[in-house]
Structure 1
Amino acid sequence: MKRRTSLAAPWLRLGRIERYVLLTQARSLAVALGVISALIMLIDFVEISRGVGSDVDLSGARILGLMLLKSPQVILQLLPFVFLFGTLGAFVSLNRRSELIAMRAAGLSAWRFVLPAAGAAFMFGILTVAALGPAASAADGLFQRERARLTNSAISTDSPEAIWIREGDDTRQMVIRADRQDRANARLIGVTFFIYSNDGAGVRTFSERIDAASATLSAGHWRLVDAVGAQLGQRAVRYATLDLRSSLADKEAFERFARPQATSFWALPAQIARVDAAGFSSTAYRLRLQQLLAMPLMFAAMSILAAAFSLRLMRLGDLARMSVAAVVLGFAFFFVNQAASAFGSAEVIPPWLAAWLPPLLTALAAFTLLFYTEDG
C-alpha cells in the first residue's frame, strides 16, 4: 500500500511540542488579558462614577453597564501589551522549568515553537479587526451617546446644539451653521449659509452670506424660510422663501460623523468617502483604517519579541535583566506608535506610514534578536 502524503507543508503541521507551547502561551495570555482588563475596568468604573455620576444620580448597576460599554475599546488598544506580557510569561515559565533547554537539546529549532505562537497572535489580530473591533466600536459609540444623553451635552464649539455642515463642488462651497436641528422634518433652525466660489485656478473666495429662520432639505435643494442674504459689497436682500441647490442626501446632512475610534473597520471606507465628499479632512479616519490593517502584524511582532528575549535567558542566565529589557522595549515601541499617530494626525507624515512604521520596526527588532539568538 502507498502511504498517503499530507498536503500540508511540514512547517505547517503542529507536533505535540508545538501544541504544548501554544497551550502554555494561551493560558499565559488569558492571565495577562484578565489582569489588564480588570485594571482598565476598575479605572473606568471610578472615572464614570466621578464624571457622569457626579452630574446624574446613577445606580451601581447603571455605572457598571456604562463601564462595560466603554472598557472594551480601551482593552483592544492595549492588546499589544497582552501579547508582550503573556508570551513573555509563557516562555519564561518554560525556561524556568528547563523545558526550553530540553527542546533545544533535542535539536528542535526555536523557529518551530516561536513562529506558531506568532501565527496564533496574527490570526487573533485578524479576528480582532474583523469581529471584536467592530463590536467594541459599536459599544463605544453607544457609550458616547448615552453619556451625552445623561449629561444633556453634545460635542460642539459654541452652543450645546450647534450643527455644522459643509458641502459643495468644484465651483461652489457652502458652510452651514444651525442653532439646532429637527431630524423628523429634515430641517435646521436658526441657520446661516456661508457661500464661497471657486475660480478656475482653485482659489476660494467668500461671495455671500444668508441667514434664515429655518432651512429644509428635500429633493436636492435647501428651502430657506424668512431669509436675509447679502453678497459681498452689496446691500442685504430679504426673501420669504429661497431655494439653494444641494448635493447632500437627507441622511448625510443630519447624521453626525462618528469618532474614528467609534467607527468599525467595515464602515471606515464608506465613512472616509462621506467625509471627503463633505469637504472635511479624513486623515483621522484613514489613519484609523491603516492602524487596524497593521494590528495583526503588531500582535505577531510583540509575540516574537517576547519569545526572543526569553530564549536568551537560558544562555545568559539573567532572568530579571532580560525581562525588564523586554518590557522597556515594548513600552518604547508603544510610545513610538503614539508619536507616529500624532504625526500622522497632524499630517506631518502620511497616515499609512504612521500606522505601519511602529509594527514594522517592532517586527524587524524581534526578527533581528531571534536570528542573533538562534544563529549567533
Structure 2
Amino acid sequence: MTLALPSLPAARRLPRIGRIERYVLIQQLRSLATALAVISALVMLIDFVEVSRGVGSNQDLSALRILGLVAIKSPAVIVQLFPFVFLFGTLGAYIGLNRRSELIAMRAAGVSAWRFVLPSAGMAFLLGVLTVTVLGPMASAGDAMWQRERARISGTAPGAGPPEAIWLREGDDQRQMIIRAGRQDRANARLLDVTFFIYTTQPGGGRTFSERIDAQSAALSAGRWRLQDATGATVGQRAVTYSTLDLPSSLADEEAFERFARPQSTPFWSLPNQIQRIENAGFSSTAYRLRFQQLLATPLVFAAMSILAAAFSLRLMRLGDMARMSVAAVVLGFAFFFLNQFSAAMGSAEVAPAFVAAWLPPILTALAAFTLLFYTEDG
C-alpha cells in the first residue's frame, strides 16, 4: 500500500522560470556583455591617455608597461560604472525585443510584464552580490597595486621623497596619547623624532593635558613603547630626562608603521576590521563606514537600474516614441549618479549618517522604477 503525498496548491509552489523568462534573461545578458565591453573600452582608452600623459611623461615607459598599469587601474573605475552597464544593457535588450515585436507578441499572449521584469531584476541583484563579494575585492586590490606602482615610478614612495610626519592616537578611558613622529625607520621598526602628548580623562568625560614627552626614537613591541633619550615635562613640574622610558600601548606592532589604505583600495571583506582598527587608533572612520554601506547597497542599485530601464522600454511599445523615452531613461540614470555623489559628499562631511547617505539614493531609484512600472503595467 502506497501513500500519495498531497500536492501543493498552485499558489504555494515555488516559482519557476519558463521559456519566456529564460529567453528574456539571455537577451539581457548579451546586451549587458555588450554594454560592459563598450564602457570598459572607453575607460581603458581614457586611462591609457591619462597614464601616458601623467606617469609615462616623467618616465620612459613602453606601451606594454603602460597597458599593464591600465589593466590594474581600470577595473576599479569600471566597477563603479556597473550601474550604467545595467541601465544601458537592460535598455538595449528591451529595445531590441521591442523592435522585433517580441514584446508585443508577449503582451498579446497575456504575459504580464512582471513575469519577465522581476527575474531580470533578480539576476541583476545576484550579479550585484557577485560584484561586491568577488569582483569588487579584486578591483580594490588592483587599485591598491596601482597606487603603489604610481608612487614607485614617480619617485614618491615612502623614503624616496621628503619625510612626512606620522600621527597616531591611542588610549583608554583613563588616558589618551597623541603621537607625532617626524619620520620612521621601517628597517628597525622605530619612529624617530617622536613627541607624545598625554591627556588625562576626567570623570565627566573631559580631557586635560598632563604631560609631554619628546624622544629621539620610539619602538613598539609587546604592548609598550620603548623610548630612547626621552625628555618629559608635566604641567607645573620641571623637565626630566630618561635614557629609556616605557609607556603602555594598545596598538598592534604593525599599526605604527602601516598607513591606512584608501576606502576605495580596501576590499569589502577587510572593511569591518579596517573600521575597527581606525576607531581603535582614535581616528574618524566615516569614509570607510560610508564605503561599506555603499557596497552593501550595490545589489539594490543594480536591480533598481534594471527595473528602471525595463519600465521605460515597456512604455516604448505603447507610446511609440523610442528616442524620447530612451533619453529620459538615460537622464534618470545620470540623475541617480549625481544624487549618489551628492549623498556621498553629505555622508563624508558627516552631515548625514553613513547608512542614510549610502541607502537613500538606491531606495529612491527603486521606488521610482516600481512606480513607473506599476503605472505602465497596471495603469
| TM-score after normalising by structure 1 | 0.94
- Distance in 2 between the 1:306 and 1:184 partners? 56
Query: In the superposition, relative to structure 1, how do residues 343 and 55 fare at CA in structure 2: closer, same or farther (>3 Å)?
Result: same
Match status 1:77 vs 2:80: yes
Match status 1:21 vs 2:24: yes
Name the structure 1 match of 2:151: 148
- Distance in 2 between the 1:184 and 1:84 partners? 50
Q: Is the 1:11–1:112 Cα contact (8 Å) retained in structure 2?
A: no
How far residue 254 of structure 1 moved from its aligned partner, in angstroms, is 2.0
> 1:238-277 maps to which residues of 2 (within 5 A)?
238-277=241-280
Larger displacement relative to structure 2 (119-128 or 256-265): 256-265
Match status 1:96 vs 2:116: no
User: CA offsets, 1:240-273, max 9 Å, x none?
Assistant: 2111111112022222111111111111111111
Name the structure 1 match of 2:175: 172
Name the structure 2 match of 1:292: 295
> Which of 346, 351, 371 pairs up with 1:348?
351
How far residue 139 of structure 1 moved from its aligned partner, in angstroms, is 1.0
How far residue 161 of structure 1 moved from its aligned partner, in angstroms, is 3.7
> 1:56-205 maps to which residues of 2 (within 5 A)?
56-153=59-156, 159-205=162-208
How far residue 319 of structure 1 moved from its aligned partner, in angstroms, is 0.6
Larger displacement relative to structure 2 (273-282 or 166-175): 166-175
> 1:42-53 maps to which residues of 2 (within 5 A)?
42-53=45-56
Query: In the superposition, relative to structure 1, how do residues 202 and 46 fare at CA in structure 2: closer, same or farther (>3 Å)?
Result: same
Tell me, what secondary structure is at the counterpart of 1:247?
Answer: coil
User: CA offsets, 1:128-177, max 9 Å, x none?
Assistant: 01111111111111111121222222589x95443222111112111212
Query: In the superposition, relative to structure 1, how do residues 206 and 159 fare at CA in structure 2: closer, same or farther (>3 Å)?
Result: farther
- Distance in 2 between the 1:148 and 1:6 partners? 64
Query: In the superposition, relative to structure 1, how do residues 14 and 155 fare at CA in structure 2: closer, same or farther (>3 Å)?
Result: farther
- Distance in 2 between the 1:3 and 1:201 partners? 69
Query: In the superposition, relative to structure 1, how do residues 195 and 217 fare at CA in structure 2: closer, same or farther (>3 Å)?
Result: same
Match status 1:221 vs 2:213: no
- Distance in 2 between the 1:53 and 1:161 partners? 25
The number of aligned residues is 375
- Distance in 2 between the 1:198 and 1:3 partners? 70
User: CA offsets, 1:189-247, max 9 Å, x none?
Assistant: 22222222221111123222222111111121111111222233444332221111111
Larger displacement relative to structure 2 (294-303 or 213-222): 213-222
- Distance in 1 between the 2:158 and 2:7 partners? 63
Tell me, what secondary structure is at the counterpart of 2:241?
Answer: strand
Query: In the superposition, relative to structure 1, how do residues 80 and 7 fare at CA in structure 2: closer, same or farther (>3 Å)?
Result: farther
- Distance in 2 between the 1:195 and 1:59 partners? 52
Match status 1:305 vs 2:319: no
Larger displacement relative to structure 2 (168-177 or 83-92): 168-177
How far residue 314 of structure 1 moved from its aligned partner, in angstroms, is 1.0
Tell me, what secondary structure is at the counterpart of 2:96?
Answer: helix
Larger displacement relative to structure 2 (302-311 or 18-27): 18-27
Q: Is the 1:165–1:176 Cα contact (8 Å) retained in structure 2?
A: yes
Query: In the superposition, relative to structure 1, how do residues 268 and 325 fare at CA in structure 2: closer, same or farther (>3 Å)?
Result: same
2:315 maps to amino acid: R
- What fraction of aligned residue pairs are identical, expressed as a percent? 74
Larger displacement relative to structure 2 (300-309 or 131-140): 131-140
Query: In the superposition, relative to structure 1, how do residues 227 and 79 fare at CA in structure 2: closer, same or farther (>3 Å)?
Result: same
2:278 maps to amino acid: V
Unaligned runs of at least 5 residues, structure 2: none
How far residue 18 of structure 1 moved from its aligned partner, in angstroms, is 1.0
Backbone CA RMSD of aligned residues: 2.2
How far residue 289 of structure 1 moved from its aligned partner, in angstroms, is 0.8
How far residue 54 of structure 1 moved from its aligned partner, in angstroms, is 2.5
Larger displacement relative to structure 2 (242-251 or 310-319): 242-251
Q: Is the 1:153–1:160 Cα contact (8 Å) retained in structure 2?
A: no
Match status 1:334 vs 2:316: no
Tell me, what secondary structure is at the counterpart of 2:297?
Answer: helix
2:48 maps to amino acid: F
- Distance in 1 between the 2:224 and 2:270 partners? 27
- Distance in 1 between the 2:18 and 2:310 partners? 19
Query: In the superposition, relative to structure 1, how do residues 63 and 233 fare at CA in structure 2: closer, same or farther (>3 Å)?
Result: farther
Larger displacement relative to structure 2 (192-201 or 334-343): 192-201
